Each structure stands twice: as C-alpha cells, then as structure tokens.
Amino acid sequence: MGEKVVAGSFDLSDRQRYRDKLRQCLTGLERLLAQQRFDRPKNLMGLEIELNLVGSDGLPKMLNAEVLERIASRDFQTELAMFNLEVNIAPHRLGGRVFDRLAEELRIALAYADRKAGEVDAGIAMIGILPTLDRDDLVSSNLSDVDRYTLLNDQIVAARGEDFTLDIEGVEHLRCTSGSITPEAACTSVQLHLQVTPGRFADVWNAAQAIAAPQVALGANSPFLFGRELWRESRPPLFQQSTDTRPPELQAQGVRPRTWFGERWITSAYDLFEENLRYFPALLPICDEEDPLAVIEAGGTPKLAELVLHNGTVYRWNRPVYGVADGVPHLRVENRVLPAGPSVTDVVANAAFYYGVVRALAEDARPVWTRMPFEAAAANFDAACRYGIDARLEWPRRGRLGGTTTVDAVTLVRDELLPLAAAGLDAWGIEPADRDLYLGVIDERCRRRANGATWQAATFHQALEKGLSRDAALAATTRRYRELMQHGDPVHSWPVGLPEPVPMT
C-alpha cells in the first residue's frame, strides 16, 4: 500500500480485468518459484514502527503533514490518520551487535523526529493505542491527506455497505459505530521483516504463527480505547472490526475477515498468495501495464504489481511479502503482531526474541506446528490479546508423551522459548553481549509479570484513586508514559503511578 494510488472510481470491467491480472501474477509467482529465481539468503531483517503525535497535554495532535515537512527524511512517512507517522529502519544483516546498532539508530531517529515535532508543539509517542484518543478524533476528516487512504476508506466502506460496529468486551465493554475505517488508525504497531528463501518460507511463517501469542503476551501495550479499559492488547480486535467488509450476514456464513490470523499451517509461500485471491475480493482494482508472464519468458523479473497491491489489503498478522531488489525477486515474512513501544530497548528486545525463536523453531527436527493444531495457535493469539502477560496458552508437551498442555505464558517463555531464542540468536551469529542484554529484558518482564499494558492500567487506576477523573487520569498516564519512554529504560523497570508534585517552597 506504499505505492502512489490515484483516487478514482471503478467500473465492472476494471474488476474483471484486475481479477485476470491477479491470476496472471499468481501464475507468474508459481513459475518464479518453480524456476528457483529467488534471491539467496542474506540474513536480512527490517523494522517499521508506527507512531503517534501528542501535545504536551497528552492529547492527539493532527499535524503529521507539518511534522513530516520539518523532519524531511524518507525514513519517515505518513500513516492512516493525521496523528500518525511511521519510521522505517533500513534493512540490517542479522549478526554481530546488530541489535545495539538498531537501538542506536532508533534512538537517534526518534529523538530527531521528536525535536522537529516540538516545533509545532507536538511530540512522539510510541504506544499501541493512544489512551487519550476520542471517538471524535477518529473520523474520516482526520485521515491523512493522501489519495490511497481516501480510496481505501471509500472502497472498504462501499464493500461493507453500512457503518462499522466496534464491540470489544474486556475489563470494560465498548460498543460504538463508525462511518469510516479511521478507527484502524488507533492501532500503532511494529512490523518485523525477515527475508527468506522459498524453501524456508513455510517453516518460518509457521514458526511465526506459533509464537504470535507469546509475542503479544510479552509485548501487550494497548489496554485502552475511547476511555475504556478493554483487552491487554486491544489492537487486533479493533483492527479486525474497523476494516471488516462483512456485514453480519456474511459473518454468519463464515466469510473470512480481511484482518485474519489464518486457518492452517502452510507448505509454501504460494499457499498464502493463492488464499488471498480465492477468499478476498479486490478492494483497489488498479491495473499495471506489465505483462508478468511475458516478462518472465523474456528472462526478466516481474513486479507482480496487482498481486502486491491486493496482498497489501489482506491484513494477516504474519504476512507474505513479494519484492524486487536490484532486479532479483525475494520473499519476506512480515510479522505484524506487536504494538509500538514502550521504549526503544523494549522494541529491540521484542525483535531479538522474535528473530531468535523463529530461527530455532523453523530449524527444529520436530516442528511445533506438527505437534499442535492450528486452531490452538489461533486460540492462543486470542487469549494473549485478552490477558497479556497473564495469559494461559496451549503448547505441545515436552518429551515423548505427545499431545498439548496448558501453561502460563511466562512459564512457557522462561522455561522453553528463551533458551530457544538464545540458540536462534547464536545461529544468526549475534554477539553474546547483545543476546544476553535483550533476552534479559524479556526474562525480567516475565519475572515481574510487567509490560506496557500492566504499567498503563496500574498507573491509570492509581490516578483514579487519587481523585482524578477518567479523562484526566488517561491524559496524566499518557504524559507520564511519554516521559518514561524518552528516558529509555525498559518498561519492567518503570515506577507505577504518577510522580508526586514538587511542593512549593
């Protein structure tokens, strides 16, 4: 969806032509896979973080165009709403002290962006859902002034044919409607990319699906929406409901939502692209002039533009990505389950855990996905979103017994997944100092059962107990969060509550 899209209307012939082009692209992908034309492994990882703009009062600021103009860097881009930005870190080769380098780059980039935002009385907040967002902030007039967002909104609204219903029952219950997809903009995430060969793709994707729940349990950072305390990680239900093209009748028929965990383990990257065509109608039937099959026959590399565009409108939590670099095609797994924040150290620790565990599980002689039903992975993801670090997850038994058992997320991570992550990072060639520093952050979160969601909720409730109104407590929690985020310490070490006011002398 990063491509320039010219807003316009579509007729019936556009959709039929686009469907034909999608089938050609899928055939082209199949041929490229059969011909083994893909890039060799380079151990490349990439990172994107979506950000919020807030004022000194903790409330959202609709100023991304002004802030981006001041930042003037291609590393920063617009996101869906005017209070959103995104920072993209250039691909890095996994190995050595890569995580320390990544952390330093992020600190420099975010500090620079924050200074530039300060010129228009705004600041950067790296958080899953900004607690101070109000329903009036998430309306179509606050969409970023970019054609592709307007067009995407119009097409999803037209496909649904009625208002979107947000209905999330957690600690409290939120039920409301929206006339646009703008509530999706409340969800600010971290996307972790890993370039893989076609032969390794299925194992890496299956491993990423299996550990999506532990990732969310550890990293939950989105307990509030529209003033209500909901799930510990409220982004997934919000994202699904705010992009849901299915009216209730289609939901009752079992039609898949466009924001989707999936329904099976796979054997090839082709499986996912084929499912996307089979299950999801085109939202943006914009055709490219390229003939992908002719390009392949001539020995060239096709862009597969229609396939790439369509793939970008199916919101899998682990998404397949086709790209071309220096004339050579490659595949990536894009992991989208994590919320942004809380601190740079936390983001990098989450990344180190992910890249380590995925490598270890993908190379396991008895893969976890051969020992656990896919339905259990999906149920685990739901449980982790609801309960965060207190979730209980279904996982294969260790040893020869077989079957699965239910285990606390923190026990699973400390006893089984952290050792796997360490082994995986060793296999990548990560320096022991980097490995131990960032996996140590994950271990401490587990030991203290503390993450961004627990800190936000505890600080909010303390503020209420001190007599603040709900709105004032959410704003004070947001201001304190941003202050601690800028200090940079990992969230498990953050003091809960608001600082005591300094007495006047």
Q: How many CB atoms lie within 10 A of CB 435?
A: 20
Q: How far apart are CA 260 and CA 316, in angstroms?
A: 5
Give the model's pLDDT for residue 110. Answer: 97
Q: What is the DSSP letter of 155?
A: H
DSSP per-residue string spanning 37-101: -SPPP--EEEEEEEEEEE-TTS-B---HHHHHHHH--TTEEE-SBTTEEEEEEEEEESSBTHHHH
Q: How far apart are CA 113 and CA 117, in angstroms?
A: 6
Contacts of 440 by beta carbon, 8 Å cutoff, 6+ apart: none
3-state class (DSSP) for residue 285? coil
Please identify which residue in the block is written with the tokens 């996994």. 94
CB 120 within 8 A of CB 70: yes
CA proximity to 46, closest of 102, 121, 113, 120 = 102
Residues 165-177 as b or e (16 or more Cβ within 10 Å = b): ebebebeeebeee
Beta-bridged to residue 332, according to DSSP, are: 195, 321
Note the helical H segments in 129-246. Answer: 147-160, 198-210, 212-219, 235-242
Q: What is the DSSP letter of 402?
A: -
Q: How far apart are CA 401 and CA 152, in angstroms?
A: 50
CA proximity to 196, closest of 363, 361, 331, 37 = 331
Q: How far apart are CA 175 and CA 231, in angstroms?
A: 14
Give the model's pLDDT for residue 5. Answer: 47
Please identify which residue in the block is written with the tokens 């004032």. 472
Length of the chain: 505
CA proximity to 81, closest of 206, 188, 228, 157 = 188
Give the model's pLDDT for residue 324. Answer: 95
First to last CA, the chain: 56
Q: What is the pTM of this model?
A: 0.95
CA proximity to 385, closest of 214, 152, 247 = 214
Give the model's pLDDT for residue 2. Answer: 41
CB 143 within 8 A of CB 86: no
The two structure tokens encoding residue 67 = 């802030």
Q: Which amino acid type is present at position 417?
A: L
Average pLDDT score, the chain: 94
Give the model's pLDDT for residue 12. Answer: 66
Q: CA angle 440-414-395, nearest 5°?
A: 140
Kindly give the confidence (pLDDT) of every residue in the chain, 505 residues in length, as a single tens digit, with 9 standing for 90 and above.
444 444 455 666 788 899 999 999 999 999 999 998 898 878 999 999 999 999 999 999 999 999 999 999 999 998 889 999 999 999 999 999 999 999 999 999 999 999 999 999 999 999 999 999 999 998 888 888 887 788 888 888 888 889 999 999 999 999 999 998 899 999 999 999 999 999 999 999 999 999 999 999 999 999 999 999 999 999 999 999 999 999 889 999 999 999 999 999 999 999 999 999 999 999 888 899 999 999 999 999 999 999 999 999 999 999 999 999 999 999 999 999 999 999 999 999 999 999 999 999 999 999 999 999 999 999 999 999 999 999 999 999 987 778 999 999 999 999 999 999 999 999 999 999 999 999 999 999 999 999 999 999 999 999 999 999 999 999 999 999 999 999 999 999 999 999 877 444 4
Give the model's pLDDT for residue 147. Answer: 79
The two structure tokens encoding residue 427 = 């296999």
395-449 pLDDT, tens digit each? 999 877 789 999 999 999 999 999 999 999 999 999 999 999 999 999 999 999 9
Q: How far apart are CA 6 and CA 27, in angstroms?
A: 27
Give the model's pLDDT for residue 9. Answer: 58
Host H or E run for residue 109: helix 98-118
